[in-house]
Amino acid sequence: MKKTAFVFLILSGIIYSCNTQQAGIRIKVTNTMDRSRPDAIILLSRQAISGWTEIPSGQWPALKNGTGEFIPSQVDDLDGDGEWDELFALIDMEPSSQKIVNLAFLLPEEYPTFKIRTNLRLGAVETGYPERLEASRLEGVSFHNYAGRTGAAYQMEGPAWENDKVGFRNYLDQRNGMDIFGKLTSEMVLDSVGIAGMPSYHEPDSWGMDILKVGTSLGSGAIGYLYKNSIYRVGDNGSGSYNVVIEGPLHSRFNLSYSDWRLDDIKLDVNHQVEIIAGRHYYQGLVSYGGSDQKVSLVTGIVNMKSDSLYVLNLDSNYTGLFTHDFQAEDTSRLAMALIVPSIFLKTYGATKDEGEGITQTYYVVLEAHPDDPVPYRFYALWEKEDPRWASRKEVSEFLKAEAERWTQSLMYEVLL
């Protein structure tokens, strides 16, 4: 059974529009939840906006509230053709409330500047640590390939991404692991982390620290595929690459792509899209494969090196949560790590072996997958030093239930005449 339509619905806002050519467009935004929604997403495509009004050549859309103040937003060129494809904005909504926002168009040089709340960083270990917007995966496996070590290639072993709540990083080599930066500040800090001569990010600092030991696990949501009853780590052979899709103050996105990746007797091409949004405690992965019609299942997981219990929750009719909660941060404080997955994709879950070849020390989930059909998941990192709520397993459970409701119910929009 293909599930492309389901993915579209959960990733898109629901838009009710009137075909109008008015110069000033008023949009009623509705929060149908009986919970407050800080940083709720407004996502308007170029196609939708062009159905409401003529788009001035060379101008960008923006949103204003009822008092004429700009609402934090960014315009994104998703396909790299030099034209914006969508307007992304964040707005605070009270429970079961409505707001009227006004659509305006501005020249790029007139566009307002908003506080930077997301950041991507892949710094090359060269003079000045220049940032790379694209790069090839390193060959081999190195557990000490960070700045200050002989032969280091990248500032933090690979790309890192953060928002005002949490940070993550990927090992851009054949380990292809995922790690967590616990943050004690809302400021963007990863541009200056991992610099030779500076304190190690493995030690506590004023901004936070690397709080996870990954080893040969899947860490914080790295990916594999299940084939013939064996789990294979994506990217441990073939070739791989990193490229930035969008980077903005409110959300940022990049791709990790893998070509000619062999698992047993077949080859696949895999794309792992990673997105981070301001105000969230998660990153979202969207994974698809091609190159073969062979049936395989997507696997992702949580390291269980310092946790002996996996908690599984039916969050609502659409989503399942799987999480650990223990003294498992590297500074021995409490850390909850969670996956939220669409229940329609969930096939099973379990634990890998603790030692030996391949993926170890991981609680894993198996998700149904089909060629060229993207499968979404969200990985959460909830560190008690960032927010004392995360010291309570009950608080974590209630938070994940609220997060599932937010994912299920997008804001609704209606164009007003």
* Same domain flag for 51 and 169: no
* Same domain flag for 196 and 257: yes
Chain segment 79-114, per-residue pLDDT in tens: 999 999 999 999 999 999 999 999 999 999 999 999
Q: How confident is the model at residue 21 (pLDDT cuts 50, 70, 90)?
A: very low
The yes-or-no verdict on residue 308 having pLDDT over 50 is yes
The yes-or-no verdict on residue 123 having pLDDT over 50 is yes
DSSP code of 12? S
Average pLDDT score over residue span 202-225: 97
The yes-or-no verdict on residue 33 having pLDDT over 90 is yes
Average pLDDT score over residue span 228-244: 96
Burial class (CB in 10 A: 0-12, 13-18, 19+), 255: middle
Q: Residue 66: give its domain's CATH number.
A: 2.60.40.1180
Does a structural domain hold residue 392? no
* Same domain flag for 323 and 243: yes
Chain segment 353-377, per-residue pLDDT in tens: 999 999 999 999 999 999 999 999 9
* Same domain flag for 251 and 312: yes
Least confidently predicted of 26-40, 146-160, 185-199, 235-249: 146-160
The yes-or-no verdict on residue 142 having pLDDT over 80 is no
Q: How confident is the model at residue 152 (pLDDT cuts 50, 70, 90)?
A: confident
Average pLDDT score over residue span 323-333: 98
CB 204 within 8 A of CB 184: no
CA distance 233 to 216: 10
- Residue 246 one-letter amino acid: I
Q: How confident is the model at residue 198 (pLDDT cuts 50, 70, 90)?
A: confident
Check residue 267 and give its pLDDT.
96
Domain containing 101 equals: 4-114+411-416
Share of the chain above pLDDT 90, in %: 90
Does a structural domain hold residue 247? yes
Does a structural domain hold residue 23? yes
* Same domain flag for 48 and 175: no
The yes-or-no verdict on residue 9 having pLDDT over 60 is no
CA distance 64 to 66: 7
CA distance 42 to 14: 10
Q: How many domains would you assign to the chain?
A: 2
DSSP code of 154? B
* Same domain flag for 97 and 246: no
Q: 3-state SS string over 190-220?
A: HHHCCCCCCCCCCCCCCCEEECCCCCCCCCE
pLDDT, mean over the chain: 92
Q: Residue 317: give its domain's CATH number.
A: 2.70.98
Does a structural domain hold residue 125? no
Check residue 417 and give its pLDDT.
67
Least confidently predicted of 7-11, 28-32, 42-46, 232-236: 7-11
Q: What separation in angstroms does the CA of 30 have from each of 40, 83, 154, 200, 296?
A: 10, 29, 44, 46, 40
CA distance 256 to 243: 7
Here the tokens at position 63 are 């949103």
Chain segment 56-82, per-residue pLDDT in tens: 999 999 999 999 999 999 999 999 999
Q: How confident is the model at residue 139 (pLDDT cuts 50, 70, 90)?
A: confident
Check residue 4 and give its pLDDT.
37
The yes-or-no verdict on residue 28 having pLDDT over 70 is yes
Q: What separation in angstroms does the CA of 216 have from each of 178, 220, 297, 378?
A: 10, 12, 20, 21
Dump strand ranges (E) for 207-334: 208-210, 220-227, 230-233, 239-247, 251-263, 266-277, 282-290, 297-303, 311-314, 319-326
β-bridge mates for residue 93, sequence order: 37
Check residue 149 and give its pLDDT.
53
Chain segment 281-293, per-residue pLDDT in tens: 999 999 999 999 9
Check residue 151 and give its pLDDT.
63
If one compares 413 and 23, the residue with the highest pLDDT of the two is 413
Check residue 11 and give its pLDDT.
37
Task: Report which of 130, 134, 132, 151 is spatially closest to residue 142, judged by C-alpha positions.
Answer: 151
